[in-house]
């Protein structure tokens, strides 16, 4: 993270980046389901392509400003790794949640949907919780694993990972509490019923904890930190 960036701009970057991420996830889900004629795999292909490609761009644009977390689980892990001060971490997470909700609303506005919605799409059961744990475990591994040996590849790696995880996890890989809560406010393709949110959050936190423990052990090297930021630019 560039030390010269003011707190205001860090928080603006996290809020705007997370808002655009949610506009992408929810918007492309609506587009896919409207056009796919009932074939959900075709809808998910469009949703996946849009999310993966968009995420790579967002991390490149906002990474030099805030680290491009867009995800409270990543910010929490950075807090425990002493890469963020507690006050800044808390503010970043607030910005992520606020941005996520605004992004969902922006998607609704673009597609002529009612702005305020609550999802009715149940995603319950232990298998879904386990899938979210795997999804978040893999996301943490992607960030930590690439940050050490090839940090300039991390933004692309995160985009490719989510592209993959939309399909290989039964939950389509939310892997992000801010994304999860915000998606409960959209009764569209990408939505999740509020009743299913707590299980998803539990899976995400469990997966993140196991991920940090496993990958810190695997990748450890004396005297070298493993940053959780998703970007390390050439001018930093």
Near a copy of itself in 28-57, by CB under 8 A: 28, 30-32, 35-54, 56-57
Q: Is residue 186 at the binding interface for a copy of itself, with CB under 8 A as the rule?
A: no
Among 88, 106, 205, 206, binds a copy of itself (CB under 8 A): 106
Site string for a copy of itself, 56-95 (x = CB under 8 A): xx--xxxxxx------------------------------
Count other Cβ atoms within 10 Å, centred on residue 97: 18
Q: Is residue 195 at the binding interface for a copy of itself, with CB under 8 A as the rule?
A: no
Least distance in angstroms from the C-beta of 177 to a copy of itself: 19
The burial class, CB within 10 Å (0-12 / 13-18 / 19+), for 53 is middle
Among 7, 120, 167, 213, binds a copy of itself (CB under 8 A): 167
For the chain, the helix, strand and coil percentages under 3-state DSSP, each to the nearest 5: 70, 0, 30
- Give, as one character, the DSSP assignment of residue 5: S
94 within 8 A of 133, measured Cβ to Cβ:
no
- Residue 234: which residues within 8 A CB-CB, separation 6 or more? 152
Least distance in angstroms from the C-beta of 70 to a copy of itself: 14
197/199 Cα distance (integer angstroms): 6
Q: Is residue 182 at the binding interface for a copy of itself, with CB under 8 A as the rule?
A: no
Q: Is residue 141 at the binding interface for a copy of itself, with CB under 8 A as the rule?
A: yes
Among 7, 80, 85, 109, binds a copy of itself (CB under 8 A): 109
Residues numbered 3-32 forming contacts with a copy of itself, rule: CB under 8 A: 4, 9, 12-13, 16, 20, 23-25, 27-28, 30-32
Classify the phi-psi angles of 160: left when phi > 0, otherwise alpha if psi is within -120 to 50, otherwise beta: alpha
76 within 8 A of 89, measured Cβ to Cβ:
yes
């Amino acid at each position: 993270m560039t030390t010269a960036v003011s707190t205001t701009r860090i928080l603006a970057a996290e809020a705007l980046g997370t808002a655009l991420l949610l506009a992408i996830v929810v918007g492309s889900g609506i587009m896919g389901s409207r056009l796919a004629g009932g074939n959900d795999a075709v809808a998910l292909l469009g949703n996946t392509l849009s999310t993966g490609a968009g995420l790579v761009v967002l991390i490149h644009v906002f990474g030099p400003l805030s680290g491009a977390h867009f995800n409270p689980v990543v910010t929490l892990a950075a807090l425990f790794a002493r890469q963020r001060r507690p006050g800044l971490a808390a503010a970043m997470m607030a910005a992520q949640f606020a941005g996520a909700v605004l992004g969902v609303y922006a998607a609704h506005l673009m597609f002529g949907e009612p702005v305020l919605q609550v999802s009715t799409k149940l995603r319950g059961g232990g298998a879904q919780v386990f899938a979210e744990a795997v999804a978040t475990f893999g996301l943490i591994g992607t960030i930590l694993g690439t940050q050490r040996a090839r940090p300039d590849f991390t933004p692309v790696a995160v985009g490719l990972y989510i592209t993959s995880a939309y399909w290989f996890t039964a939950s389509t890989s939310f892997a992000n509490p801010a994304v999860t809560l915000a998606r409960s406010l959209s009764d569209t393709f990408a939505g999740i019923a509020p009743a299913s949110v707590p299980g998803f959050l539990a899976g995400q936190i469990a997966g993140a904890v196991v991920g940090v423990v496993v990958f810190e052990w695997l990748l450890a090297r004396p005297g070298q930190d493993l940053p959780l930021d998703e970007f390390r630019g050439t001018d930093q």
